[in-house]
Chains A and B, each alone.
Chain A
Amino acid sequence: MSAMTTSERRNTATPPTGPSRKRNSLAKGKLPKWAVPAVAGGSIILGAAGSTLTGFNVATFAIYSAVIFLVAASVATTVVEGKRRGKNATWTYLIYASFILALIPLASVLYTVLEKGLPGMNMHFLFSSMNGITGAVDNQTVENGTPVLGGAYHALMGTLLITLWATVISVPVGMLTAIYLVEYGKNGPLARAITFFVDVMTGIPSIVAGLFAAAFFGLLLGPNSRMGIVAAVALSVLMIPTVVRSTEEMLKIVPNELREASYALGVRRWRTILKVVIPTAISGIASGVTLAIARVIGETAPILVTAGIASNINLNVFANWMSTLPTFIYYQIMTPTSPTNVDPSIQRAWAAALLLILMVMALNLAARLIAKLFAPKKGR
């Protein structure tokens, strides 16, 4: 509070002509540069004081300080710079606050994964399967204090292959559908129906998608035909709506002027779409596809009923069971290899989680690279 009053005094003192300031909003007073840090400092002190009153704790301290700062800084700006700028300041601080608020849990999740995942991350973990690892092996590991044996290579390969096949199925279908909706459908009854049902599809519980794929392949190939490709189909059911939805949004905001310019040059519609519309939107589409892959790469339930679980390496999606990283994590946490000594299993689970995140990171980079290669140069 004291910071605010001083800044106000300083402000009213410095400008040469008081009354003229009020008429011209452009020339209106501005908070000096040190004012905001000062208010921040003041709120931290007050927040600490307030928190100590009820028994100090980091959470209340942070909350009190943030609220005091938000109010003080907004009021200061409103008083000195006017109502409109005050509102601007309030919202700016709110947006910064929401950003910080969002970072807390996300950072906590990342920290948890790093802290628990890093110890188990080594070459042995990356390049060996769980074949032959039993509870007895884990018990020995704990007794002798030797490094944890067994890795996630089989699950890593399973994730890569199943996700690859799911992407191969869903990206063409999803993108073509989005193109139909935006470029051809033009709000006809069919396009409206597709848009609507794509939205409904986002609400399919993942386990239902898995059961559906299992039942579908069961009809074709006999009961309980579990293999990689069945899982890929189940994941596609979950992935397609995300691809359609994000691609559609991105295509919609491509300005019509670009399409018209292309038509005016005598370019056919399909080439306009392929050469003008999609490249303009490619960055958003790539990000949407990545998001869709990210959405399904962590799915557990549908994989369990479609691809089974394996502890050995299987690189063929058309035969035998497969594990993926999420199913590996799930079973290592829920039913540890050795119930008496769960630590090796927990360590493997978190290391696998870290591995999964690293994989998505690489995927994201690749998507960005693709977007960069295709996107037209822009002024942004």
Chain B
Amino acid sequence: MTTNALTSKSSTSGRAGDKIFSGAALGAGVLILITLFAVAVFLLIQALPTFMADPADISGGAGFLSYIWPIVVGTVIAAAIALLIATPVGLGVALFISHFAPRRIAGPLGYVIDLLAAIPSVIYGAWGYMVLAPALVPGYDWLARNLGFIPIFEGPASQTGKTMLTAGIVLAVMVLPIITSLSREIFLQTPKLHEEAALALGATRWEMITTAVLPFARPGIISATMLGLGRALGETMAVALVLSTGNLIPSLIKSGNQTIAAEIALNFPEAFGLRLAELIAAGLVLFLITLVVNMIARAIIARHKEFSGAN
């Protein structure tokens, strides 16, 4: 029945339908470009006073670069910790749900993980400073005692646990559902034939995953990671609540460091005039960081294009 309806209709209304549909699709794409362009223009106009101002008037008194540099580094560190933890664990969880767990429990598990993406960041932040940070203090003390010679574990450790590493872990927990959810869907779409072929050739389950599932899913995994990174870079409230902010320091277990998004969130309400422009300029820089990271990811995906079904 469906097939009949398809063929008979398409001969009469098809051409116009095709035009309208492709036009709408194109329009939607262009709308996104326009929006993004508008956002960029908005940011530039608002940030402009920062770049015209006397360097001595900028926070810190040494110009915009020296103001922004420490928090750029802080942002990158926080996001890197988050991704270093969340990507392997997230992929593991996705594989577990798609290829290891019994069918009966895999569905509900995926469902619970999806839910966790929705917990507002305020809650993650509150959980981070009320539950996680105090729980990590003994661990930090141990790290400071035994691995203190490595600069990133230099002691004395913070007694509140509100450190960069804690913030990174909270971010990892927040990013995890995003990575898991998307890569799970992609793992599930691996052509059954490829998987069965691998198994028929005597591959173990892990060999089947490395030869059939992962290559197929690689662009998707990178996309999932990039979405996660987007959230980790732009996350404000959780970092603002969890991190004891301060100047840039190498140790991850002492209070200190700051991220761009948290800097904006913490200072925006009271900001005025030039300070406001500075914060918007910081937002612009965050924007640029995402741009660069995405360019790199694009380049990686481009090399593995051949695995995509649509090409």
Q: Interface residues, chain A, CB within 8 Å of chain B? A: 25-26, 57, 59, 84-85, 87-88, 91-92, 94-99, 101-102, 105-106, 108-110, 112-113, 172-177, 179-185, 187, 190-191, 193-209, 211-212, 215-216, 237, 240-242, 244-246, 249-256, 262, 265-271, 273, 275, 283-284, 287-288, 290-291, 293-295, 297-301, 325-326, 329-330, 333, 353, 356-357, 360-361, 364, 368, 379-380
Write the nearest CB–CB distance from B151 to chain A, whole angstroms: 24
Q: A269 vs B204: C-alpha distance in the bound complex, in angstroms?
A: 41
A99:B96 contact, CB within 8 angstroms = yes
Instruction: Verify B234–A203 contact, CB threshold 8 A.
Output: yes
Known contacts A87-B204, A364-B115; A198 and B32 CB within 8 A of each other: yes
Residue of A nearest to B36 (CB): A197
> In the complex, which residues of chain B have a beta carbon less than 8 angstroms from the beta carbon of A194?
29, 32-33
Q: Is the CB of B7 within 8 A of A253?
A: no
Contact of A245 among B20, B112, B227 (CB under 8 A): B227
Q: A246-B182, A255-B309 are in contact. Are A109 and B234 (CB under 8 A)?
A: no
> Which of B29, B283, B291 is in CB contact (< 8 Å) with A185?
B29
Chain A residues with CB below 8 A from B264, complex form: 205, 207
Interface 1/0 per residue, B185-208 and A, CB below 8 Å: 110110110000000001011110
Contact B283 A205 (CB under 8 A): yes
Q: Are A329 and B206 in touch, CB under 8 angstroms?
A: no
Contacts of B236 in A (CB 8 A): 205-207, 301
A180/B26 in contact, CB under 8 A? yes
Scoring A94, A112, A177, A240 by chain B CB atoms within 10 A of each residue's CB, the highest score goes to A177
Is A113 in contact with B96, judged by CB distance below 8 angstroms? no
Judge whether B139 and A301 touch: CB under 8 Å.
Answer: no
The answer on a CB contact under 8 Å between A298 and B22 is no
Q: Is B156 an interface residue (CB 8 A)?
A: no
Contact at B36–A200, with CB atoms within 8 Å? Answer: yes
C-alpha gap A290/B132 in the complex (Å): 28
The residue of chain A having its C-beta at the shortest distance from the C-beta of B283 within the complex is A208
Chain B residues whose CB sits within 8 angstroms of the CB of A174 once the complex forms: 28
Q: Given A88-B207, A194-B32, A201-B32, A300 and B121 touching (CB < 8 A)? A: yes
Give the CA-CA distance A361 to B130 in the complex, in Å. 25
Contact call B123/A113, Cβ cutoff below 8 A: yes
A109:B96 contact, CB within 8 angstroms: no
- Contact residue among A97, A175, A196, A251 (Cβ-Cβ distance under 8 Å from B295): A196
State which of B18, B92, B291 has its C-beta within 8 Å of the C-beta of A203: B291
In the assembled complex, which residues on chain A have CB atoms less than 8 Å from the CB atom of B227? 202, 242, 245
What chain A residues lie within 8 Å of B231 (beta carbons)? 202, 295
User: Which of A92, A108, A199 has the most CB atoms of chain B within a 10 A radius of its CB?
Assistant: A199
Q: Is the CB of B10 within 8 A of A271?
A: yes
B298-A196 in contact (CB<8A): yes
A287 surroundings in chain B (CB, below 8 A): 114, 181, 185
CB-CB nearest in chain A for B95: A95
Residues of B within 8 A of A (CB): 2-3, 6-7, 9-11, 14-15, 17-18, 20-22, 24-29, 31-33, 35-36, 38-39, 42-43, 46, 88-93, 95-96, 100, 111-124, 126-127, 130-132, 138-139, 169, 173, 176-178, 180-182, 185-186, 188-189, 191-192, 202, 204-207, 209, 216, 219-220, 223, 226-227, 230-231, 233-234, 236-237, 260-261, 264-265, 268, 280, 283, 286-287, 289-291, 293-295, 297-298, 308-311
Contact assessment for A177 and B25 in the assembled complex, using a CB-CB cutoff below 8 Å: yes
Task: Give complex CA distance A102, B283 in Å.
Answer: 31
Q: A109-B127, A203-B290 are in contact. Are A256 and B42 (CB under 8 A)?
A: no
Q: Chain A: which residue is nearest B86 at the CB level?
A: A102
**Cross-chain contact of A88 among B88, B91, B205, B265 (Cβ < 8 A):** B205
Contact A176 B24 (CB under 8 A): yes
Whether B173 and A379, one on each chain, are in contact in the complex, defined by CB atoms closer than 8 angstroms, is no
30 A–B contacts from the bound complex (CB under 8 Å)? A59-B139, A96-B100, A109-B127, A110-B116, A196-B294, A196-B295, A196-B298, A200-B36, A202-B226, A202-B290, A203-B230, A203-B233, A204-B287, A206-B234, A207-B268, A208-B287, A251-B310, A253-B308, A267-B7, A268-B18, A270-B18, A283-B185, A287-B114, A291-B117, A294-B118, A301-B237, A301-B265, A353-B123, A357-B115, A364-B114
Contact between B9 and A271 (Cβ–Cβ < 8 Å)? Answer: yes
Q: Is the CB of B116 within 8 A of A99?
A: no
Residues of A within 8 A of B18 (CB): 268-270
Q: Which residue of A lies closest to B17 (CB)?
A: A270
The 7 closest A-B pairs by CB, nearest first: A203-B290, A98-B92, A298-B120, A202-B230, A294-B118, A176-B28, A180-B25
A299 CB → nearest B CB, Å:
8
Could you tell me the distance between the alpha carbons of A127 and B257 in the complex, rounded to whole angstroms?
A: 43
With known contacts A109-B123, A353-B119, A88–B39 Cβ distance under 8 A:
no
Q: A99-B93, A112-B127, A364-B115 are in contact. List 7 more A-B contacts (CB 8 A).
A: A88-B204, A98-B88, A177-B28, A185-B29, A246-B185, A252-B310, A284-B185
A98–B87 alpha-carbon span in the complex (Å): 10
Q: With CB as the reference atom, state the residue of chain B lying closest to A117.
A: B123
Most central of B100, B115, B219 by chain A CB within 10 Å: B115
Please name all residues of chain B whose beta carbon is closer than 8 Å to the beta carbon of A98 when the two chains form the complex. 88-89, 91-93, 96
CB atoms of A353 and B120 under 8 A apart: yes
In contact, B309 and A298 (Cβ under 8 angstroms): no
> Hey, which chain B residues are within 8 Å of A94, CB to CB?
92
Contact between chains at A266 and B290 (CB < 8 Å): no
The residue in chain B whose Cβ has the minimal distance to the Cβ of A185 is B29
Contact with A215, one of B42, B121, B132, B298 (Cβ below 8 angstroms): B42
- A83 nearest CB across to chain B (Å): 11
Q: Using Cβ atoms and an 8 Å threshold, which residues of chain B touch A187? A: 311
Give A198's nearest chain B residue, CB to CB. Answer: B32
Give the residues in chain B near A265, CB-CB below 8 Å: 3, 6-7
The answer to whether A203 and B185 have CB atoms under 8 Å apart is no
Q: Which residues of B contact A357 (CB under 8 A)?
A: 115, 118-119
By the criterion CB–CB under 8 Å, are A177 and B32 in contact?
A: yes
